[in-house]
Amino acid sequence: MNINKSRIAGTIMIMAMMITTVLPVESQQPLGDKPSRTGGRTRSAVRAMNGMIATSQPLASAAGLRILQQGGNAVDAAVAAAAVLCVVEPMMVSPGGDLFALVWDAKKKELKALNASGRAPMAASIDALKQRGFKDMPDKGIHTVTVPGAVDGWGKLLERYGSMKLAQVLQPAIEYAEQGFPVTDVIAADWQLAGSFKDNPDFARTFLPNGKPLEPGEIFTNKNLANSLRKIAVEGPDAFYRGEIAAKIVKFANEQGGFHTLRDFAKQTSNWIDPISTTYRGHTVYELPPNTQGLAALEMLNILEGYDLKSLGHNTAEYLHLLIEAKKLAYADRAKQIADPDFYKAPLDRLLSKDYAAEQRKHIDPAKIYDPSQKDPRGGEDTVYLTVIDKDRNVVSFIQSIFSAFGSGLVAGDTGIVLHNRGAGFSFDPQHPNRLEGGKRPFHTLIPGMAFKDGRPWLSFGVMGGDMQAQGHVQVLLNLIDFGMDIQRAGEMPRFRHFDSGVALESAIGEDVRSTLKAKGHKLTMSPGSFGGYQAIMIDPISGALFAGSDLRKDGCAIGW
């Protein structure tokens, strides 16, 4: 087997920089004044000057670093890393999914957002699904497959900001797909969900090679995906939307009873747009506008800015109560207002105003809960987030997903490509702005984040985890801004997650806090494990040095040079 020498070198560098112990959540408790070489973290922040990448998987970080060291910029490295994640975390991400990105062009001093989410087939509708016996949006299967936007997004990113060709940046992913990689413990645990789709022949052949999910240490190859990526590398995104891959996906979809046509694929396009923003204690925080949930994170920040959070103490019951109540208010607006802006214009100026936040604060009682009586829309959890900053200080905040574990549970013939189930995010209510309609983009949970200080990029960050993402963005920002934590510790601190059914707390949050929250009326739910997957890079405003943090909840890896 002929393995590229630069790939070996990158892997060796990864292993050298990944000397860390992944500790249970209980180990994340603050250490107070106790001396510690890592300041109460499982590892210290990574620091570098020439460039930095943080992803959820070491092989993807190595691929991005390889591109940076070959002279590529942050966008080149981001696309390369995302493509590798499609190979090594197939339950989370695929060319058959969607992506969103924020890009800071250091030379032009310009911040733009990319919406690379796909649309429902033109023939899709609520009535059409009702005629087929559906009473609600399905959560798996062909009718959840919107036209994937990720590959077009890769092309749009490189066309506008990249310095390398698609063939160059896809090469690491092609190598891993063709030559294989050893499955990690974290990925193997997620792979167990593949067994749910064993009755789908193309899926089973691809992801259950011995009739069962892969175990830690097993070598996985996806030669069909390597062939598809090679076609995209040579022909560009047209291979996916107008060429052989499109034809195979549409043929497969029609065999499954789907509404997809070649015209639906040929019409797919990503959109460059302006991000939305708010200010929070001297920082400007940027998110993506609808059809994704960035609005919710910004609303939460506006509400919480009216409180002296630091005086309450970190993760105390009083502190968490305010965050949970702010979340409920912001997510009530999210449930009512977020839809494809081509079909519905949300009143963003009002929702993001400080006056509106002051009105919202009137609903918060420090002693008891508020019930906005609004159900959260369906949100998936299987997502990858990555961020890259290069030597010129171009910045990319990037998120890509197939919505839930292994997406729709379908692989299109011999393409090796998992098709997402993002269409499950549509509403079946014919009066709702997010109702299923042909040519429409569904509600998305995907949000890459960025924060500026004094008009310059300060932080590029994200917290993958479906419905958790806006809640995670806010918790991390408060850790950094209100409590002055460093970038690694800010991502390691215990988190809460609010659902319709109640509040889940990571296990490091103590029983006294839980008891007080219950007394205020919160319904605490049992939720084993942890929530979210955080990656972040910060630019020191004085020295220009790069600091990065990566989440112990995933196979997180931040590396620089």
Show which residues are catalytic: 383
Report residue 10 as tokens: 């990158």
DSSP state of 142: G
Q: Are 305 and 477 in contact (CB under 8 A)?
A: no
- At residue 333, φ and ψ (nearest 5 deg) are -65, -40
d(CA 87, CA 180): 9
Exposed e or buried b for every residue in 443-468, given b needs 16+ CB within 10 A?
bbbbbbbbbbeeeebbbbbbbbbbbb
Q: How far is CA 341 from CA 251, 322, 394, 441, in A?
A: 30, 31, 28, 9
DSSP state of 409: S
Q: Are 257 and 132 in contact (CB under 8 A)?
A: yes
d(CA 485, CA 452): 17
- Counting Cβ atoms within 10 Å, is residue 133 exposed (0-12), middle (13-18) or buried (19+)? exposed
Report residue 449 as tokens: 């984040």
Q: Are 46 and 52 in contact (CB under 8 A)?
A: yes
Q: Find the length of the chain.
A: 561
d(CA 339, CA 425): 10
* Distance between first and last Cα of the chain: 29
Judged by phi (left if over 0) then psi (alpha if -120 to 50, else beta), residue 491 lies in alpha
What's the one-letter identity of residue 400?
Answer: Q
- Spacing of C-alpha 326 from chain mean position: 22
Q: How far is CA 431 from CA 121, 336, 414, 446, in A?
A: 20, 11, 40, 24
- Counting Cβ atoms within 10 Å, is residue 115 exposed (0-12), middle (13-18) or buried (19+)? buried
Q: Are 114 and 162 in contact (CB under 8 A)?
A: no
Query: DSSP letters along 261-272, please?
Result: -HHHHHT---EE
Q: How far is CA 457 from CA 72, 74, 297, 322, 452, in A?
A: 20, 14, 18, 28, 4
Report residue 213 as tokens: 């999910």
What's the one-letter identity of residue 280?
Answer: Y
Report residue 439 as tokens: 């040519």
C-alpha closest to that of 144 among 101, 100, 98: 98
Q: Are 90 and 207 in contact (CB under 8 A)?
A: yes
What's the one-letter identity of residue 551?
Answer: D
What's the one-letter identity of residue 58?
Answer: P
